[in-house]
């Protein structure tokens, strides 16, 4: 069987039919004849958009905000809160929450997730074992990539144990090497450990970078230069990069140009960074976003995601790319189209995945959203959606609204 999508509207406003065979778009035309082997899906009134991806999740922490409130509301408070409860995470608990969260993402149209898994003395490799199990169980439904997130050591003893734990995480099946160099006492050592592990293993690198409003932080530039110096070419992503948003414009532009030349993708995470950053600044706090416009102007790859899903780092996450895109419009001042590109094509590029298009020969990963325009699709969190991966419908949702008039109440004109 092939799947024929009838009367969809693409992002350019074209009303077309789309035939999907296997995992590929086979034909796009204003009116495709129905063939005997077609399964027909009428999507009149729906926009057919490249399916979003979540390039930066923490499925091991997801759905725990009620267990450990963040008492200070900032990054340090979130780290303290999660460490207070992490010892109580059983394998079953980690697997159940991560699976439930992945299903939330999928229902909203996200068909690929890159999730970080804590690796460090406080957690050992328990989180990695659980998320690898979830990844394998969801294969064919959601494309899950697991990052070995090497935690920042809090003592010399912890620092000494980190290389062994990272090696164990790689052996367990990590897809990507991660870390948080900006939280290490020796930032250069933190960067070197993760980069060297990526070089040895041949795995991509995805680092939490400069998640701070410190205007002197230069972790992103250091990463770009280290990548160029090492010749590493397996894919590099820098997430957060908050400090770039408070650098002087000429510094931000120069850094963005280095990032683009190095081929480093940047993932901005507006929900969590707006929540965590700037709490110590009572008047006129900065928005806590990276310099999205400078990065785009420099030609860097910009992805965007939601980061945390109702945990101490962000109690309001909703596993919906529309939320991230909407915030990039309202807080990042991007156009709606550029914002959707960041959560779909940009996110997938940062993850090393093919980018879907409504075009013959493209990989077929789409979400169809019932809406009259892209603005309406991104703004309408409650809109009906159909999630498509190849010739399969993975999820669908519909919205039923009922407005009842009060008896005896009406409106008249005279």
pLDDT number for residue 412: 39
Q: Which residues in the chain come in under a pLDDT of 50? A: 409-414
Contact 162, 178 (CB under 8 A): no
pLDDT number for residue 410: 42
Q: Which domains does the chain have, with CATH numbers?
A: 2-51+358-397 (2.30.40.10), 54-350 (3.20.20.140)
Tokens 């997730």 map to which residue? 113
Beta bridge partners of 236: 205, 264
How, if at all, do strands 385-389 and 392-397 pair? antiparallel
Distance (Å, whole) CA 81 – CA 314: 12
pLDDT number for residue 177: 98
- Of 192, 157, 281, 300, the closest CA to residue 241 belongs to 300
Residue 38: strand, helix, or coil: strand
**Number of alpha carbons in the 13 Å side-chain half-sphere of residue 387:** 22
Q: What is the pTM of this model?
A: 0.95
CA-atom Rg of the chain in angstroms: 22
Contact 145, 177 (CB under 8 A): no
- Give how far Cα 5 sits from Cα of 1, 23, 262, 373, Å: 13, 14, 40, 18
Residue 291: strand, helix, or coil: coil
């Amino acid at each position: 069987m092939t799947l024929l999508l009838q009367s969809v509207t693409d992002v350019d406003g074209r009303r077309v039919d789309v035939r999907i065979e296997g995992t590929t778009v086979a034909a796009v035309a204003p009116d495709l004849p129905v063939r005997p082997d077609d399964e027909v899906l009428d999507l009149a009134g729906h926009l057919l958009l490249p399916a979003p991806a979540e390039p930066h999740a923490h499925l091991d922490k997801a759905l725990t905000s009620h267990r450990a409130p963040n008492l200070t509301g900032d990054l340090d408070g979130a780290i303290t809160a999660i460490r207070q409860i992490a010892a109580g995470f059983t394998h079953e608990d980690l697997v159940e929450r991560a699976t439930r969260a992945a299903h939330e993402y999928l229902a909203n149209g996200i068909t690929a997730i890159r999730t970080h898994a804590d690796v460090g003395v406080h957690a050992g490799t328990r989180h990695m074992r659980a998320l690898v199990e979830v990844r394998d169980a969801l294969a064919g439904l959601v494309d899950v990539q697991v990052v070995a997130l090497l935690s920042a050591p809090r003592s010399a003893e912890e620092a000494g144990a980190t290389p062994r734990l990272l090696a164990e995480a790689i052996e367990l099946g990590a897809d990507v090497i991660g870390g948080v160099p900006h939280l290490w006492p020796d930032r250069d050592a933190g960067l070197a450990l993760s980069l060297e592990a990526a070089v040895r293993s041949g795995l991509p690198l995805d680092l939490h970078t400069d998640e701070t409003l410190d205007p002197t932080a230069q972790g992103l530039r250091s990463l770009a230069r280290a990548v160029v110096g090492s010749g590493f070419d397996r894919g590099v992503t820098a997430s957060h990069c908050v400090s770039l948003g408070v650098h002087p414009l000429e510094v931000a532009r120069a850094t963005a140009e280095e990032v683009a030349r190095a081929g480093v993708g940047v993932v901005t995470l507006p929900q969590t960074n707006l929540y965590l950053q700037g709490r110590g600044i009572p008047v006129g706090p900065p928005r806590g976003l990276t310099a999205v416009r400078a990065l785009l102007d420099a030609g860097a790859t910009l992805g965007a995601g939601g980061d945390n899903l109702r945990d101490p780092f962000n109690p309001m996450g909703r596993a919906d790319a529309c939320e991230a895109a909407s915030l990039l419009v309202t807080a990042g001042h991007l156009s709606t189209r550029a914002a959707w590109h960041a959560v779909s094509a940009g996110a997938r590029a940062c993850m090393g995945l093919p980018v879907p298009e409504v075009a013959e020969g493209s990989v077929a990963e789409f979400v169809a959203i019932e809406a009259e325009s892209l603005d309406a699709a991104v703004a309408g969190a409650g809109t009906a959606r159909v999630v498509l991966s190849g010739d399969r419908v993975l999820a669908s949702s519909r919205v039923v609204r009922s407005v009842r008039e009060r008896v005896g109440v009406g409106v008249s004109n005279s």
